[in-house]
Chain A
Amino acid sequence: MSKRIVEQNADTLIFELSDQTRRSTSLAPDIDVNEVCLELPDHLQRKKTLELPQVGELQVLRHYTRLSQKNFSIDTHFYPLGSCTMKYNPRVCNTLAQLPGFTSRHPMAHASMSQGVMSCLFDLQTMLKEATGMKQVSLTPMAGAQGEFAGVAMIRAYHDNNNDTQRSEIIVPDAAHGTNPATAVMCGYKVKEIPTNEHGDIDIEALEKIIGPQTAGIMLTNPSTLGVFERKIKLIADMIHKAGGLLYYDGANLNAILGKVKPGDMGFDVIHMNLHKTFSTPHGGGGPGSGPIGVSERLQPFVPVPIVGHSDKKGYYWITEEELPLSIGRLSAWMGNVGILLRAYIYALLLGRDGMERVADFATLNANYLLKRLMAADFEMAFPERRASHEFILTLRKEMKEYGTSAMDFAKRLLDYGFHAPTTYFPLLVPECFLIEPTETESRADLDAFVETLIKIREEAEQSPDLLKGAPFELPVRRLDDVKAARELDLNFYYSEA
C-alpha cells in the first residue's frame, strides 16, 4: 500500500460527495414515485426526507475501492492473528458459491427445486461428522458464538429433559475466549472459572474441587487458547461425565488437529466449528461467520433445526421440529449462512482427507518453526518447554521492563513494516503477550521475514523506544484516540447530540 495514494481522499466520507439534486443512477426502475404513493395510506407514509448519498456510480465505486486499499488483509499481508486462523481463502470457493443456481434460490423454494444445494449441505454434514467424530451435525448456527449458544442450550435441554434441574454452573478455564462465559450466562448458567497451571494445562486439583452435582458442563478449547494440547483431556472428560456434566468443545483451534485427533474421541458431547477459520471461508472484515455444531449420541434429539436428511424415496428433505420435537429450536430464519456453508463445502472437496491432514501438518510445522526461530533470537515464550500447536504465545514483558515498550507498541510498529500484528493481550493471564498463528498457507520466506522484522523492532526498542511508542507512521492514520472515541461518541454522520 502506498501512503500517497490513500492520502488523496484521506478524509472524505461518501456523504460529503453527495448532492441531493444529482440523478445519475441507471440502477433503479424509472417510475413516478408520487403517483405510486397514492396507493399507500397517507398517514403511514414517510414525511421527513430520507438522507442517503446521491453520488455517481463511478464515484461510489472509486470511493469504496480506495477505502479497501486502506485495509490489511490476507490477500495483501501476512496476518498472524492468533486464534483467528487467517489463511488463504481460495478464490474458487467464492466463484463457485456465486453460481446463479445457488445465489438465486429463495429459502422457501420447494424441496423439489432445491435438490442441488441440499445435496451440498448433506455432504458437508457428512464430512464434518467424519472430521470431528460426532454423531450428528447441524449447520444452522451463523457464527462461532451462536454455535456456542446452541451447544450450551442443548446441554441445558438435556439436563432439563432428565429432570436434572439443580445443575446451575458451567466451568470455564481462565484462559477461555470471552464468548464462553458470555454464552453460559445467556443460557441462564453461572460461570465458574478454573485456573491453568504453569505448563498451560488445566489445574486438575482445582477442577476436582469445583465439580459437583451443580455442574452442568465444562467449555474447553483443545489445543487450548494457550497454544498447547491439553494432555489430560481424557481424565477431565471422565471427571465431568462421572459428575453427570457434559463437555463442550470450542472449535476455534480445530485447524491444529484436523485429521489427527477428533473431539468426539476426546470425550466431547457437543462442539462448534468455526468454518471461517478451519474451512477457510472469508473473514470479510468481521463476518459473516458460520458455526455448525456437532453432537454425541446423547445430545442428538436436541440439535437445532433444520438439518438436511436423505432417503431414496424422498431425495433430500428438511428435518424439522416434527421429527425432532426436543430440538432447542431455530437460530436463524432458515438454514444459517448457506452461502458460507457452500464455500466450506467447496474447500473440503478441494482438500479431501489428504489435504485436511496437510492442514494440521503444515499449520503445526509453521508454528513450531516460528517459535524455535524466535526463541533462538532470545524472545521469551510463555511455554518454552511445550510443543506449539498451530499457534503459540510470546511474551514481551522483558522488553517492557527494559525499554518501556509494550506489546501494543511492538504490534503498531509491525504494521509499519507491513505485517498485521498477532493477537495482543489475549489470553489475559500472560503479560504483554502476542498470540501468534502463522497458518499453513504462509511460506517459509514470509515466516523468516517476520522473525527478522521482530528482531529489528527490538533493536529499535533498545535504541529509540519512541519509534515504537509513536508507531505507526506509515499507515493512513497514526495511533487513534480511543478515549475520545468512547467519551465523545460520533457513531452517525447525520446525528450529533444537541
Chain B
Amino acid sequence: MNADSILRELAQMARPVSASAAMRPPGPGCLTAAQMRQLAGGGPTPEATLLCLTEHVPRCDRCWSLVCVVLGEDTAPDPEADGAIDRALRRQVARLPEAPAQAMERSLLTLVLQWLPGPDAAQPLMAGAFADEDETPPMRLLVEERDLPLRLRLTSPEGTPRFAELILSAEDGSGSLRLQADSAGIATFRGPAGAYLCRVEGYGGPLLRREEG
C-alpha cells in the first residue's frame, strides 16, 4: 500500500476541514513538517509516514486538515476550505520550520553492544556487586506512543552487527516479540507502547543506550 492509495481512501471520509485545527501545534504522533513535505512532494513515502496516515490522521483534526489542504483537490471537498483558507494554509505549511534534530532523532534509538559475540574466550570472573540481579541486566526500554514506530539501531565499538535479532519482552509479562535488524543494524519496532526489557539474541554482554547529539 502506498501513500496515494491511502490518501484516496482517506478522501472518502466525510470529515470537515478546519483551518484553526490545522494551525494547532503538533501533538504526540502528529505528522511532522518533514513528513508533510514528503507527502506534498510525492515520491517514495517512508513507512513511518504511511503508518501515521493510516492510524493517526483519520482521528486527528489537525493532521486531517493539513493533509486535505496540502493535497488540494484529491481530498474531500469542504465548504470551509475556500480558496483563501487554502492558500493561507499552504503558506503556513511552506513556512513550517525544519523539525529540530532532537525531535527527528526521537524515533531512532542507538543501542550499543559493548562486546560482540565472537570466538568464545574465557573471562575473569568477578562475583558482581549487590547480587539480586542477573549478571548482565537486560536493558529497560520505555516506549511512548509518540516514539512509534521506533527504530532501534545496534552498534558497537567494533562496528555494526548485521542481521542481529532483538528480543523485546513486555515488562508486564504480556508477551515478547523478535525484531530482525537489517544490514545497517536497524530494527523497527511498531508497538504497542509500554515498558520492555530488551536484549540481543546470542549476546551476553552489556547493552546500553546512547544519547545522540
Do A and B pair up? The answer is no
Binding site for A on B (CB under 8 A): none
